[in-house]
């Protein structure tokens, strides 16, 4: 079975952990665009970028970023990873991605999520107490917009639509829609029941703890065929010596920042944990190409997923370091699965 391989960025504005140099918004945006161009050149299948509305992240509009990327790439698929759907108007989201699909000649996808932060609720006039209800309602409307060019709809949180034209229509008959989840069983079940794809973002710990989530999705799926992506932090080097020297400062910087924002805890890895980190049981895709191949094979046996997604630029890594992981993923890991 052919497996798709992609990369994604959340656009964090982290300083370099050693030099303490801080990037700028324009530099970060240009680096993300170059990551996508390079991934396309290397033959990867998908590029994603996340949505945040905070000064410690550079990207608030994945649609704008992906439209720019579409103009300098040829074949790579393009998705928000994720779009924060509970505080976004689904009509605007669909029409943006339909436009992206036209610009890119059929390469657009949507990955919807609920988000780890809540700043977008007051920013766009939504009530945080309706966190899950908003997501459910907006998702159901988005799926209907994807099916029909003229829609009548009513809900609780958004004004009704009566016989409205939904324009433009995409190149694809339907834009692929995934639900991004970090570990919530209910979200996986919802994705299955609605016939959506599922993208599981693994943050830390052991791989097996996600097995029940995947089984719930597959067991509840109603549609043609389930489609599963597995995503996580990825850092690849040729040798273990390089990994031990280079990985930890970036990962420590990433975790330190999360903790400072009140959504982290004790960091999930220490230098002495490198044996576990590079093992197949770890959710971190850190290792040599051979170790990453072993990890993905192990997870294929557990999950049977069709796509692997790598977050490659965490912790303030400069672009030249990020490109090392992209190159090894495309040229040493991906060919092993797509012979």
pLDDT in tens, 141-190: 999 999 999 999 999 999 999 999 999 999 999 999 999 999 899 999 99
Residues 305-334 pLDDT 10s: 999 999 999 999 999 999 999 999 999 999
Could you give the CA distance from residue 8 to residue 36 in angstroms, rounded to a whole number? 9
pLDDT tens by residue, 288-297: 999 999 999 9
How does the average pLDDT of the chain come out, rounded?
Answer: 94
Identify the pLDDT of residue 269: 60
Calculate the CA dihedral of residues 317, 327, 26, 257 and round it to 10 degrees: -30
Q: For tokens 């809540």, name the residue.
A: 118
277: containing domain: 4-337
- Mean pLDDT along residues 93-118: 96
Share of the chain above pLDDT 90, in %: 88
pLDDT band at residue 40 under the 50/70/90 scheme: very high
Rounded Cα–Cα distance for residues 92 and 83 (Å): 12
Say how far apart CA 273 and CA 286 lie, in whole Å.
12
Closest to 145 (Cα-Cα) out of 101, 190, 189, 198: 101
b/e sequence 185-195, b meaning 16+ C-beta within 10 Å: eebbbbbbebe
Q: How many domains does the chain have?
A: 1
Task: Compute the chain's Rg from CA coordinates.
Answer: 19
CA dihedral 36, 67, 88, 84 (to 10 degrees): 0
Query: What do you get for the CA distance between the two ends of the chain, in Å?
Result: 9
CATH number of the domain enclosing 331 = 3.20.20.30
Give CA–CA dist 20/173, Å, rounded. Answer: 48
For residue 204, what pLDDT band results from cuts at 50, 70 and 90? confident
pLDDT given for residue 218 in this prediction: 97
Structure tokens at 98: 């339909």
Mean pLDDT of all residues in 117-128: 93
Per-residue model confidence (pLDDT) at position 268 = 57
Does residue 73 register a pLDDT over 90? yes
| Residue 261: pLDDT over 80 | no
220 — pLDDT class (breaks 50, 70, 90): very high
Distance (Å, whole) CA 49 – CA 113: 12
At 126, list the tokens. 């939504």
List CB contacts of 178: < 8 A, sequence separation 6 or more: 79, 109, 110, 111, 112, 191, 196, 197, 198, 199, 227, 229
Q: Judge whether residue 96 has pLDDT over 60.
A: yes
- pLDDT at position 260 is 79
- The answer, yes or no, to whether residue 50 has pLDDT greater than 90, is yes
pLDDT (tens digit, 9 = 90+) per residue, 263-285? 765 555 666 688 899 999 999 99
């Amino acid at each position: 079975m052919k497996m798709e391989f992609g990369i994604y960025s959340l656009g964090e504005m982290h300083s370099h952990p050693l030099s303490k140099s801080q990037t700028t918004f324009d530099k970060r945006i240009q680096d993300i665009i170059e990551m996508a161009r390079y991934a396309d050149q290397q033959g990867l299948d998908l590029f994603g970028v996340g949505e945040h509305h905070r000064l410690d992240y550079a990207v608030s509009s994945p649609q704008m970023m992906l439209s720019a990327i579409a103009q300098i790439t040829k074949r790579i698929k393009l998705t928000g990873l994720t779009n924060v759907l509970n505080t976004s108007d689904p009509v605007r989201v669909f029409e943006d991605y339909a436009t992206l699909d036209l610009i890119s000649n059929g390469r657009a996808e949507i990955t919807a999520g609920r988000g780890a932060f809540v700043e977008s609720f007051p920013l766009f006039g939504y009530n945080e107490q309706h966190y899950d209800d908003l997501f459910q309602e907006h998702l159901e409307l988005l799926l209907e917009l994807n099916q029909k060019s003229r829609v009548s709809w009513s809900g609780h949180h958004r004004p009704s639509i009566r016989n409205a034209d939904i324009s433009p229509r995409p190149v694809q008959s339907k834009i692929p829609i995934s639900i991004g989840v970090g570990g919530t069983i209910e979200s996986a079940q919802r994705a299955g029941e609605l016939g959506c794809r599922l993208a599981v973002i693994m943050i830390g710990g052991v791989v097996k703890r996600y097995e029940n989530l995947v089984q719930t999705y597959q067991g509840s799926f109603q549609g043609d065929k389930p489609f599963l992506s597995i995503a996580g932090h990825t850092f690849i080097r040729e040798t273990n010596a390089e990994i031990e020297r280079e990985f930890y400062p970036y990962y420590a910087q990433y975790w330190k920042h999360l903790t400072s924002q009140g959504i982290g805890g004790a960091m999930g890895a220490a230098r002495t944990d490198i044996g576990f980190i590079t093992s197949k049981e770890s959710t971190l895709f850190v290792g040599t190409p051979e170790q990453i191949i072993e990890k993905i094979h192990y997870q294929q046996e557990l999950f049977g997923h069709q796509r692997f997604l790598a977050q490659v630029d965490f912790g303030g890594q400069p672009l030249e370091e990020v490109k090392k992981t992209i190159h090894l993923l495309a040229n040493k890991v991906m060919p092993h699965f797509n012979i």
